[in-house]
Structure 1
């Protein structure tokens, strides 16, 4: 298969600084429905436009990882997968495979440091975009992924990422399976550090363990509205519904989004079915929607504004991949079960579309 990676370019530096700080504000979360469907999703933000398409990658697809020394790890896809690619680089950076395993990359600036590619590790090395496709291609469960990482079966080489600005981009990764189990994988000092993720939430920097510790600052948050209290004989009542969440951080920084995502996912009432759970996850992620202009930087005289380009939801029980875009808020769905997963080519659909407004004036009676 032609992976169309000639535009990647190679760079042999350790990943510590990344040029333009066009920060990404992606947020991920997970819920489980009453019928045991595991539903997870994420937002996709960046400070410059990312050209994205949705693809279905069949079983038997051959891949070659890219490294700073040339070709790296080679593999043939054991499982079919569906998800998002960037430009013409036909490896999925956010997706789900036919066994319900989900993996996705999230921006991790200031902390990610990939391994240095050498002749000794070149055969197990690949780019930061290749590794998500490798997970989807080869594994059924989170435990299988953990075992492969513990056995040092893969290393990330600091090559350029197609579709992003021309600096080595820093990522960490989340993996879910259809049981709801989750891990976060972070490239630290050239090694891949693995954290168990009991809450299924991920944002960006700093490290995952820091975010989990930070949750201790918000143990007072409650889903229900607190009762009135007596203060020196006076009755003090909440000002309205939602007072239990008073103090919930509302800004767009990664720590604040992590706390909000954890609070919303934990306090949501489980829906009865997977379909309802998908809509519930979209509602949760709507709370992290960033309009153009409210989160921005000015660099070299140019404005870079993070905004929510895509929102993605994955139904790991029914193998359905949903998305909507900034320009088109209507929800679209790809059903893996409707494809020949032993097909001979990668099928593709660009995410670009325009919102249609439904005029219901004539329906009034």
Structure 2
């Protein structure tokens, strides 16, 4: 279960940010993939190539798997859980690019220069039921894709086929499907950043308790529909900033509203969903920022020419703050 959101600075710099909410420890770290990297595939022996370089959260499981990132052309994407609604092909299709769900994000970042190009190439793509390493399950996923022009889309494959939809609100969470979330926003048209006016009920004048009453009724739980509504509101009304550093800071505060602390969301099997990390993809730099749960220090890695042309993928250790400043 995750939340994603796009953001634009006053100068036009574009960002995609996400929380990674999961019970199973994924163990990801920033990993830069160089140009012309070859990925193996669980759907076919040939695998697939990634002509373009990208950086994001990855892990080497007899081959790198990424769940988010940004490429050298400023295309960013994130994979989010889509339980109960994702539907994939049972077998590979001859003549198609056949990918397992967990491989789609690497193909996107390694092969397209814009969100529009991805839409143009989807007819040649088949997503196949195939289990992911480590989890050993067919991972139900959908994807948010954005580029430095600000174009943002959602990719979902359901029983009735593949859907590639413009994202007018710049937010995505989990199930239900994206169109359902958009319709659900009609239930929250009363939300506003300023306080509601006083009301008269009969002879009684009812006064608002103060600032913040405009957000009365905004859902505060950790379900996907509630996180979607909350993040749309935060994105719409959080002040716009000018610099890249200020944008990462603003996104961090926005995602604070949906971060899941350990222990407050327990699944039926007793496992605990929590926000393992937050990631911030800066499309104009391009650069990747990662903020883990256990240490809120943000690690930044720019996608430099040296990383793009390296002989092999480059892993980065997350920065840590070992102690607090002592105040007497």
Measured against the shorter chain, the TM-score band is over 0.9
Structure 2 match to 1:332: 299
Structure 2 match to 1:321: 288
Select which of 341, 357, 361 maps to 2:308. 341
Select which of 108, 127, 130 maps to 2:82. 108
Describe the shift of the 1:170–1:272 C-alpha distance in structure 2 as closer, same or farther (beyond 3 A): same
Which deviates the most, 26-35 or 235-244? 235-244
Cα shift at 1:73: 5.2
Structure 1 match to 2:130: 159
Give the number of equivalent residue pairs.
327
Q: Secondary structure at the match of 1:262?
A: helix
In the TM superposition, what whole-angstrom CA distance separates every residue of 1:28-51 from its partner, at most 9, and x where no partner exists?
011111111112200001122112
Select which of 101, 124, 142 maps to 2:97. 124
* Aligned pairs (5 A) from 1:202-213: 202-213=172-183
Q: Secondary structure at the match of 2:2?
A: coil
Q: Which runs of 5+ in 2 are unaligned?
A: none
Structure 1 match to 2:242: 272
Structure 1 match to 2:193: 223
Q: Does the aligned pair in 1 maintain the 2:38–2:47 contact within 8 Å?
A: no
Q: Would you say 1:309 and 2:276 are equivalent positions?
A: yes
Select which of 189, 192, 214 maps to 2:159. 189
* In structure 2, C-alpha distance between the alignment counterparts of 1:195 and 1:73, rounded to whole Å: 27
Cα shift at 1:162: 2.1
Q: Secondary structure at the match of 2:66?
A: strand
Which deviates the most, 248-257 or 54-63? 54-63
Describe the shift of the 1:154–1:350 C-alpha distance in structure 2 as closer, same or farther (beyond 3 A): farther
Cα shift at 1:81: 0.3
Cα shift at 1:341: 1.4
Q: Does the aligned pair in 2 maintain the 1:35–1:274 contact within 8 Å?
A: no
Q: Would you say 1:359 and 2:298 are equivalent positions?
A: no
Describe the shift of the 1:119–1:32 C-alpha distance in structure 2 as closer, same or farther (beyond 3 A): closer
In the TM superposition, what whole-angstrom CA distance separates every residue of 1:39-94 from its partner, at most 9, and x where no partner exists?
22000011221121211111121234331xx325532x222100011342413220
Q: Which runs of 5+ in 1 are unaligned?
A: 1-24
Q: Does the aligned pair in 1 maintain the 2:34–2:310 contact within 8 Å?
A: yes
Cα shift at 1:355: 4.8
Describe the shift of the 1:95–1:78 C-alpha distance in structure 2 as closer, same or farther (beyond 3 A): same
Describe the shift of the 1:345–1:87 C-alpha distance in structure 2 as closer, same or farther (beyond 3 A): closer
Q: TM-score, normalised by structure 1?
A: 0.85
Q: Does the aligned pair in 2 maintain the 1:42–1:311 contact within 8 Å?
A: yes
Cα shift at 1:317: 1.6
Q: How large is the Cα RMSD of the aligned pairs? A: 1.8
In the TM superposition, what whole-angstrom CA distance separates every residue of 1:167-226 from its partner, at most 9, and x where no partner exists?
211001110001111111111127321111011100000100000000010011001122
* Aligned pairs (5 A) from 1:1-365: 25-67=1-43, 70-71=44-45, 74-75=48-49, 77-88=50-61, 89-118=63-92, 120=94, 123-149=96-122, 152-164=123-135, 166-189=136-159, 191-299=161-269, 303-337=270-304, 339-351=306-318, 355-361=321-327
Describe the shift of the 1:154–1:325 C-alpha distance in structure 2 as closer, same or farther (beyond 3 A): same
Cα shift at 1:350: 4.8
* In structure 2, C-alpha distance between the alignment counterparts of 1:325 and 1:277, rounded to whole Å: 18
Describe the shift of the 1:119–1:136 C-alpha distance in structure 2 as closer, same or farther (beyond 3 A): closer
